């Protein structure tokens, strides 16, 4: 499948009006018309436009915003351009320049990757510094200033709203940069706790080999980990502890329900909260939650890409019956509502959609899979996380669902959060064969295709040197999260005033890196209010249980910079 074909496919499936209305997206004003247009015609056209806008607003109010499950989708005008194959000339020129810059570095060597990282950091530092010196950017802490932090693309934070005892350098001691992390190291999602060990392993390498400088001296990156067992109430307690007792510089959370429970407070406390370990679209909200940013592909994007794949590949079965196994919490709900909205707008593709929810702590999924089997779906989508991903694959096989769907020529999907081969695919044996994934572009460190790449070799060697088993790919995911975090810290440290919270959030909101733990073609950057999603693309891959590898089918699809922001409002249907 060609890249343009995938672009067109994704575009067609994003382009329905509910998405733009849900997150405040809308078309730009129409053009000014020809030179012969009279004043009367202009006035009439304006009146008609106003009437149409009022009608649209009334319709939105009637709907009470209940169509916002797919926040994070590309803007409609961008989609139309992609469908027509008409890329903006300026955008093409920028892409060509970026490609030329990338050709200057040798990504086939570790030195080349590090050289490119240093060059990209220097470019970002120069841009931010110039804008700070010109007054276009401000930290909000300048004497005599108006108290507003200003960054790229309209990004703003009212620093006067921060707590009275807030400090720009909290968490930076004479020897440490203290970073708090809540995660699940027990319970059904305990495997994800291994990410923290890998993240700490990367920070230890930085401390020993290329430390972060604060002024003229180095500081050790210190990770303070709290095991919340994926229980949101426990996350709340630990975040309070990290803020009030541990005095951390920044915080990282794992899990959608957990992060939703604390991101209001973290933002009210003016604490950096970047690259959270969850793909919920709510983290793409730079206006209301400026201190929080997303790392991985949005679950809303993933939901649409499931539909895109079905429409493109199951033509002989359309319309299909789709069953989803849904974790019964905010994480699973994002998937459930996202795909439900897409299916409702594409009844020619999906005739029936049955979501079956399961308790996140359930030891088995037998009852849920029995219900799904009786539904006789053509497509099964696992919308869960952690150990239930493995259980879903195993029980689909044992129940006969796996054989039934394959006999029909249908498909089974596991979610992007369960791409780990060692944790979720290998233990399922032959039942894992031919499962599909919208993988978000991440590389598995145990996959034979990637193990000899220079950065992956570097990762696995560091893990082994630190006493961690490199065969556990979730350790390596710690590098996937830690890499942009480290780059943002280095950028902040080189800005006027050095490393502090305001410089760090400016660095995060301006970041533009080549990420060696992601597939080529996945662009990783943020740009203030204009681009709030770090990863906006994915691979389409199928698992080969014999070789224990994910085989990418076609090119990656990337819609970098084209996703609408998402002010999450669960009570009113999602994104606003």
Match 């070799």 to its residue by tokens: 457
Cα atoms in the 13 Å half-sphere on the side-chain side of 480? 27
Q: Average pLDDT of the chain?
A: 86
- Write down the pLDDT at residue 98: 57
- Write down the pLDDT at residue 571: 77
CA–CA distances in Å: residue 180 to residues 266, 466, 515 = 12, 21, 23
Closest CA to 261 of 239, 246, 245: 239
- Write down the pLDDT at residue 206: 98
Classified as helix, coil or strand, 495 is coil
Vertex 116: Cα angle to 482 and 118 (nearest 5): 70
- Write down the pLDDT at residue 558: 86
pLDDT in tens, 218-254: 999 999 999 999 999 999 999 999 999 999 999 999 9
Burial of 255 (0-12, 13-18, 19+ CB in 10 A): buried
d(CA 130, CA 133) in angstroms, rounded, equals 5
Closest CA to 545 of 389, 399, 421: 421
Are 533 and 563 spatial neighbours (Cβ–Cβ below 8 Å)?
Answer: yes
Q: Which CATH superfamily groups domain 113-293+453-513?
A: Response regulator (3.40.50.2300)
Burial of 319 (0-12, 13-18, 19+ CB in 10 A): middle
| The pLDDT of residue 31 is above 70 | no
Peptide bond into 319 cis (omega under 30): yes
| The pLDDT of residue 9 is above 50 | no
Are 511 and 483 spatial neighbours (Cβ–Cβ below 8 Å)?
Answer: no
- Confidence category of residue 41, pLDDT binned at 50, 70, 90: very low
> At a CB cut-off of 8 Å and minimum separation 6, what does 381 contact?
306, 322, 323, 324, 325, 335, 339, 412, 413, 415
pLDDT in tens, 257-267: 999 999 999 99
Mean pLDDT for the stretch of residues 505-525: 97
- Confidence category of residue 69, pLDDT binned at 50, 70, 90: low
d(CA 78, CA 94) in angstroms, rounded, equals 16
- Write down the pLDDT at residue 572: 75
CB atoms within 10 A of CB 130: 11
Q: Do 1-26+43-104+298-438+539-576 and 113-293+453-513 fold alike per CATH? A: yes
- Write down the pLDDT at residue 18: 32
pLDDT in tens, 286-305: 999 999 999 999 998 899 88
Please tell me which residue, 4 or 209, carries the higher pLDDT value: 209
d(CA 420, CA 423) in angstroms, rounded, equals 6
What are the domain boundaries of the chain?
1-26+43-104+298-438+539-576, 113-293+453-513
- Confidence category of residue 43, pLDDT binned at 50, 70, 90: very low
- Write down the pLDDT at residue 46: 44
| The pLDDT of residue 56 is above 50 | no
CB atoms within 10 A of CB 367: 11
Mean pLDDT for the stretch of residues 431-441: 96
- Write down the pLDDT at residue 575: 82
- Write down the pLDDT at residue 36: 36
Please tell me which residue, 39 or 308, carries the higher pLDDT value: 308
Tokens matching residue 524: 């990783």
Closest CA to 242 of 183, 292, 190: 183
CATH topology of domain 1-26+43-104+298-438+539-576: Rossmann fold (3.40.50)
pLDDT in tens, 142-195: 999 999 999 999 999 999 999 999 999 999 999 999 999 999 999 989 999 999
- Write down the pLDDT at residue 104: 82
Please tell me which residue, 335 or 46, carries the higher pLDDT value: 335
Please tell me which residue, 376 or 564, carries the higher pLDDT value: 376
pLDDT in tens, 304-350: 889 989 998 999 999 999 999 999 999 999 999 889 989 999 999 99
| The pLDDT of residue 385 is above 50 | yes
Tokens matching residue 410: 């249908």
What pairs with residue 322 in β-bridges? 353, 379
CA–CA distances in Å: residue 116 to residues 105, 122, 432, 441, 462 = 6, 10, 38, 20, 21
Residue 393 CA to its chain's centroid (Å): 24
Least confident of 22-36, 189-203, 446-460, 554-568: 22-36
CA–CA distances in Å: residue 263 to residues 35, 130, 295 = 52, 31, 15
Q: Percentage of the chain surpassing pLDDT 70?
A: 82
| The pLDDT of residue 516 is above 80 | yes
| The pLDDT of residue 87 is above 90 | no
Q: What is the pTM of this model?
A: 0.85
d(CA 553, CA 167) in angstroms, rounded, equals 49
């Amino acid at each position: 499948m060609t890249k343009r074909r995938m672009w067109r496919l994704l575009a067609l499936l994003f382009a329905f009006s509910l998405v733009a209305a849900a997150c405040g997206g809308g078309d730009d004003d129409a053009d000014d018309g020809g030179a012969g247009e009279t004043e009367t015609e202009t006035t009439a056209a304006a009146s008609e436009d106003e009437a149409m806008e009022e009608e649209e607003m009334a319709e939105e109010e009637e709907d009470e915003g209940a169509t916002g499950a797919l926040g994070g989708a590309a803007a409609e005008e961008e989609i139309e351009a992609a469908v027509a194959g008409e890329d903006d000339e300026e955008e093409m020129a920028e892409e060509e320049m970026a490609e030329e810059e990338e050709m200057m570095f040798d990504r086939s060597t570790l030195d080349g990757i590090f050289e490119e990282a240093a060059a990209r950091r220097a470019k970002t530092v120069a841009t931010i510094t110039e804008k700070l010196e010109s007054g276009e950017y401000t930290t909000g802490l300048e004497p005599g200033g108006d108290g507003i932090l200003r960054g790229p693309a309209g990004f703003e934070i009212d620093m006067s709203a921060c707590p009275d005892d807030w400090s720009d350098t909290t968490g930076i001691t004479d020897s440490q940069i203290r970073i708090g992390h809540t995660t699940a190291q027990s319970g059904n999602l305990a495997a994800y706790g291994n990410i923290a060990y890998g993240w700490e392993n990367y920070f230890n390498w930085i401390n020993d080999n290329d430390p972060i400088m604060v002024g003229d001296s180095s500081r050790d990156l210190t990770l303070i980990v709290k095991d919340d067992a994926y229980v949101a109430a426990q996350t709340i307690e630990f975040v309070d502890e990290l803020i009030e007792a541990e005095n951390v510089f920044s915080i990282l959370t794992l899990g959608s329900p957990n992060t939703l429970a604390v991101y209001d407070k973290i933002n009210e406390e003016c604490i950096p909260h970047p690259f959270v370990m969850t793909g919920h679209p709510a983290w793409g909200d730079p206006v209301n939650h400026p201190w929080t940013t997303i790392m991985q592909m949005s679950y809303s994007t993933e939901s649409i890409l499931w539909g895109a794949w079905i429409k493109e590949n199951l033509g002989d079965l359309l319309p299909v019956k789709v069953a989803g196994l849904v974790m019964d919490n905010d994480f699973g709900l994002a998937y459930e509502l996202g795909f439900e909205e897409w299916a409702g707008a594409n009844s020619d593709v999906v005739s029936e959609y049955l979501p079956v929810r399961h308790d996140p702590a359930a030891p088995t999924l037998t009852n849920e899979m029995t219900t799904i089997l009786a539904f006789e779906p053509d497509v099964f989508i696992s919308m869960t996380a952690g150990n239930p991903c493995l259980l879903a694959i195993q029980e689909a096989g044992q129940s006969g669902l796996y054989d039934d769907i394959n006999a029909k020529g249908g498909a089974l999907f596991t979610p992007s959060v369960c791409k780990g081969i060692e944790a979720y695919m290998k233990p399922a044996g032959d039942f894992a064969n031919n499962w599909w994934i919208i993988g978000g572009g991440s590389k598995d460190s145990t996959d034979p295709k990637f193990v000899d790449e220079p950065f992956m070799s570097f990762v696995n060697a560091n893990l082994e040197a630190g006493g961690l088993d490199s065969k556990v790919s979730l350790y390596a995911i710690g590098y996937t999260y830690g890499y942009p975090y480290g780059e943002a810290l280095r950028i902040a440290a080189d800005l006027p005033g050095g490393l502090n919270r305001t410089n760090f959030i400016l660095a995060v909101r301006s970041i533009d890196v080549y990420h060696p733990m992601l597939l080529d073609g996945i662009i990783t950057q943020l740009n203030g209010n204009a681009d709030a999603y770090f990863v906006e693309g994915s691979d389409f891959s199928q698992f080969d249980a014999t070789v224990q590898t994910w085989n990418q089918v076609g090119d990656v699809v990337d819609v970098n910079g084209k996703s609408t922001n998402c002010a999450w409002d669960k009570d009113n249907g999602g994104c606003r």
